[in-house]
Chains A and B, each alone.
Chain A
Amino acid sequence: MTADKQDWPLYEVFVRGKRGLNHVHVGSLHAADDRMALTHARDLYTRRNEGVSIWVVRSEHIAASTRDEKDPFFEPSADKVYRHPTFYDIPDDVPHI
């Protein structure tokens, strides 16, 4: 049987730094199965109290936008200035706005 590490699937690792924070992508690793991916992620990415919770997901299961941020995919976000409420005229002496 070939059991080279190359045959093991790639996992992406997400760590919740502490309660109240989102899980954040921290890196990736190869593992034989989900459980090994979790234990390796624990050893590799949370060895100095960096996290309270870990998610691992097979990289092939991630659907991603195309290669980088200049992609037209993100244009709808750039052309809607009204989403940034900076142009309403409010007198300076109105509190709490």
Chain B
Amino acid sequence: MVGWEVGRMDTTRSSPVGTDGAEPDLQQHFDATIARDQRIEPRDWMPEGYRKTLIRQIAQHAHSEIIGMQPEGEWITRAPSLFVDGAAICNQVPLCRSSYGPYARAMVRICKEESFHQRQGYELLMTMMRGTQKQREMVQDAVNRWWWPSLMMFGPPDDASPNSAQSMAWKIKRHSNDELRRRFVDMTVPQAEKLGVTLPDPELRWNEELGHHDFGTPDWDELMRVIKGDGPCNDQRMERRRTAHEEGSWVREAATAHAAKQAARERKGAVA
């Protein structure tokens, strides 16, 4: 998930807080643009709620990319990539059609990155499965631990996801959490089969009628605890994030100082 790129969002052009619908012409034009499946661009008027939702989602996404670079960076050689990157792809591919232009365009590049991660992860797991009995057990153990958290990555179930309906109406999100989760299960089952691992869900089976898999319910209480900051790695991650930011500050300061010096030199040259 390394490398985040999010387009420019002009923060000066939306309506002030709490005036959604107070500017009928603008609102109408915005709604019509969304209805025509066209993109909203940075300088367009947008309802405050749309802007807030985007900032929340993009910030959350950016954060996950940064964390992917920091504590998770060292997982690369022992990664549960099959699931985590696979889930990211399921989530992100439809976002390439998100109604906010810069976000959608950034997603195209992020998806290229993610597909490369997933291929790397799958090859790595295949190599492990061709190894010793011990190595095969390690893969299965990782699958057992990561299957449910991967399903949770799609977020709470639709009936408990307060922002989903509005985000879909605004076409920021193109599919609901549950739809994406099901798509991920359908996509992963044959990959796991080919790999020779068992997914730890006794309720998992193909539903001929629906053309999808039926599967068990993740432990939503656990997801809520993790979201609220009570996950197994929460403190460690916050600490790593803080440390990385602080340790990088001298680079940022040096770059700023250098830029200021160059600018001053140029001004001096222009006068002379």
Contact = CB atoms under 8 A, between A and B. Distances in A.
Interface residues of B, number: 25
A70 B29 contact: yes
Contacts of A48: 112
A7 B256 contact: yes
Nearest to B6: A27
A67 B255 contact: no
B151 to A, nearest CB: 31
Interface in B18-53: 29, 41, 43-45
A48 B5 CA distance: 15
Chain B residues touching A, majority SS: helix
Contact of A32 (B3, B8, B249, B258): B258
A10 B42 CA distance: 14
B259 interface: yes
Nearest to B250: A3
Q: How large is the interface on A (under 10, 10 to 19, 20 to 34, 35 or more residues)?
A: 20 to 34
B8 A4 contact: no
Contacts of A10: 8
Contact of A27 (B45, B102, B252, B263): B102
Interface of B: 3, 5, 7-8, 13, 29, 41, 43-45, 102, 105-106, 109, 112, 249, 252-253, 255-259, 262-263
29 contacts: A3-B253, A3-B255, A5-B252, A7-B256, A10-B8, A26-B105, A27-B5, A27-B7, A27-B8, A27-B106, A29-B5, A32-B252, A33-B255, A33-B258, A33-B259, A33-B262, A33-B263, A36-B255, A45-B5, A45-B109, A59-B8, A64-B43, A67-B13, A67-B43, A67-B44, A68-B43, A68-B44, A68-B45, A70-B29
